[in-house]
Amino acid sequence: MPVSLVILAAGQGTRMNSDLPKVLHRVAGAPLLHHAMQAGAALSPERVVVVAGHGAEAVSKAARAWDEACGIVVQAEQLGTGHAVAQAAPALAGVSGDCVVLYGDTPFIRPETLEAMLEARARHAVVVLGFEARDPGRYGRLIAQGEALERIVEFKDATEAQRAITLCNSGVICADTALLLDLVGTLGNDNAAGEYYLTDVVELARRRGLSAGVVTCDEAETLGVNTRAQLAEAEAAFQARARAEALENGVTLTAPETVFFALDTVVGRDAIIGPNVVFGPGVTIESGAEIRAFCHLEGCHVSRGADVGPFARLRPGAELAEDVHVGNFVEIKNAILEEGVKVGHLTYLGDADVGEGTNIGAGTVTCNYDGVMKHRTRIGKRAFIGSDTMLVAPVTVGDGALTGSGSVITADVPAGAVALGRARQVVKPGLAPKMFEMYRSIKEKRQKDAK
């Protein structure tokens, strides 16, 4: 049966004390909204609708960065969750199958939980996701008998007896799309907040003689992010889970509590990750690679047998083939390093292609930017780039070529050639003592003048 998603992402999040829409605050390098969209994507939805409001343009851009095909509707006034879902009605007109409503600020709902809700739809017209709360606080309460759900009571409207219930509402709901939109269209706002509650669809469905059910999950899945403290809590929860999964999948983390993963980080079995490594978005580390301490990686691919660091930075577009060595204080950006390349230390390679077996000496820089445009450097196979070489792009160094240390290379170097691009050394015999004496005299005079 086809599935549609409605993701509510209209809130301003005033408790975040931020100009940024709440759902665009980041956990694991990705907006909260992307976490929700990723969870929903596991259901292979035929249609995804994001309800935006505050900062709608930015929210829309972020949503389409994850899913270009998703629909965007705007809730101009935030009049409650039921009102928000109603805004999606035109985008879902004529759509068959079930609809799942998710929240852009609730990042940890597991795909398995959503699948359990869809399974429960075979038994109930409306299915709500609930959890047993350690501290129920101001959550809405689920009035249920076993799996059968009688109604949902918002905290503001609950009696003292109802507030004593610990089975709470996550807000996530599943129903037949046409039925959900029909029920939402009949919602009223006769409640303490004067809002249109999505939760009221349970009672409306039961009035029609339809059944409602509840599926429960661990409370940790329902963590909503409304404050900076909760954002930090969400980050910690994500990292703890990602580290545990990496270890379970055969990755060595020598100091797990110091490694930070992004939402989409992929690390292969038998890879070794040292202390204080940070993964930004878009990183793949193949099996058997090693990332040493204090490295930062983003938008890059590291192949089997390669090793990186310590203190290295791989930026977007860095592609390391098998058995590449990138050492300490090396930065790679938008560059392809073929098999066996060695870049030992203190080097910047940006917008470059480096052939297999080439050695890059310390202090090498590809001078790729002229102040207006970026230019590419191409280095062939088994070349030797001497320490402190400046490669002024666009420039090509051929297979097996060599550049002398301290050279500034501004023209192409043919295969097998040696290129020297430095000033001739001048030696003045006996001049050093005289110069030191002159410098001492100048220093003494400055010290006297300072008094």
- pLDDT, tens digit, 9 for 90 and up, residues 397-440: 999 999 999 999 999 999 999 999 988 889 999 999 999 999 99
CB contact set of 27 (below 8 Å; sequence gap of 6+): 35, 107, 225, 231, 234, 235, 238, 263
pLDDT confidence of residue 343? 98
Secondary structure (DSSP) of 24-70: GSEETTEEHHHHHHHHHHTT--SEEEEEEBTBHHHHHHHHHHH-TT-
pLDDT confidence of residue 386? 98
- pLDDT, tens digit, 9 for 90 and up, residues 60-101: 999 999 999 999 999 998 899 999 999 999 999 989 999 999
139 in Cβ contact with 219 (< 8 Å): no
- pLDDT, tens digit, 9 for 90 and up, residues 193-229: 788 989 899 999 999 999 999 999 999 999 999 999 9
DSSP state of 362: T
Active site residue 345: yes
81 annotated among ligand-binding-site residues: yes
Task: Flag whether pLDDT at 191 surpasses 80.
Answer: no
According to CATH, the superfamily of the domain at 228-419 is Hexapeptide repeat proteins (2.160.10.10)
422 annotated among ligand-binding-site residues: yes
267 in Cβ contact with 273 (< 8 Å): yes
9 annotated among ligand-binding-site residues: yes
Buried/exposed 271-301: b ≥16 CB within 10 Å, e otherwise: bbbbbbbbbbbbbbbbebbbbbbbbbbbbbb
pLDDT confidence of residue 164? 93
156 annotated among ligand-binding-site residues: no
Residue 357's pLDDT band (cuts 50, 70, 90)? very high
56 annotated among ligand-binding-site residues: no
104 annotated among ligand-binding-site residues: yes
CB contact set of 159 (below 8 Å; sequence gap of 6+): none
80 annotated among ligand-binding-site residues: yes
Q: Which fold has domain 3-222?
A: Spore Coat Polysaccharide Biosynthesis Protein SpsA; Chain A (3.90.550)
| pTM passes above 0.95 | no
- pLDDT, tens digit, 9 for 90 and up, residues 361-388: 999 999 999 999 999 999 999 999 999 9
Cα 280 from Cα 316, distance rounded (Å): 10
pLDDT confidence of residue 440? 94
CB contact set of 124 (below 8 Å; sequence gap of 6+): 147, 148, 149, 210, 211, 212, 213
359 annotated among ligand-binding-site residues: yes
Cα 100 from Cα 148, distance rounded (Å): 19
Residue 12's pLDDT band (cuts 50, 70, 90)? confident
Q: What's at 352, amino acid-wise?
A: A
pLDDT confidence of residue 266? 98
Cα 326 from Cα 352, distance rounded (Å): 15
114 in Cβ contact with 43 (< 8 Å): yes
105 annotated among ligand-binding-site residues: yes
102 annotated among ligand-binding-site residues: no
Structure tokens at 219: 């409370």
Cα 109 from Cα 40, distance rounded (Å): 9
Extended beta strands in 98-235, E state:
98-103, 126-132, 141-145, 148-153, 167-176, 212-216
- pLDDT, tens digit, 9 for 90 and up, residues 234-276: 999 999 999 999 999 999 999 999 999 999 999 999 999 999 9
253 in Cβ contact with 270 (< 8 Å): no
What percent of the chain has a predicted confidence (pLDDT) above 70? 100
Mean pLDDT of 338-342: 98
Residue 157's pLDDT band (cuts 50, 70, 90)? confident
366 annotated among ligand-binding-site residues: no
135 annotated among ligand-binding-site residues: no
375 - beta bridge partners?
Answer: none
- In this structure, the number of other CB atoms found within 10 A of the CB of residue 195 comes to 18
pLDDT confidence of residue 13? 82
335 in Cβ contact with 358 (< 8 Å): no
405 annotated among ligand-binding-site residues: yes
pLDDT confidence of residue 232? 97
DSSP state of 389: -
Q: Which of 34, 83, 345, 375 is catalytic?
A: 345
- Output the CA torsion sign for 141, 143, 146, 148: negative
Task: Flag whether pLDDT at 11 surpasses 90.
Answer: no
pLDDT confidence of residue 192? 74
Cα 9 from Cα 382, distance rounded (Å): 53
Nearest to 33, CA basis, from 184, 317, 234, 277: 234
Q: Across all residues in the chain, what is the average pLDDT? A: 95
Secondary structure (3-state) at 383: coil
State the Cα angle at 329 between 288 and 406, rounded to 5°.
Answer: 120
269 in Cβ contact with 245 (< 8 Å): no
- Could you tell me the residue ranges of all domains in the chain? 3-222, 228-419
**Enclosing H/E stretch for 87:** helix 81-87
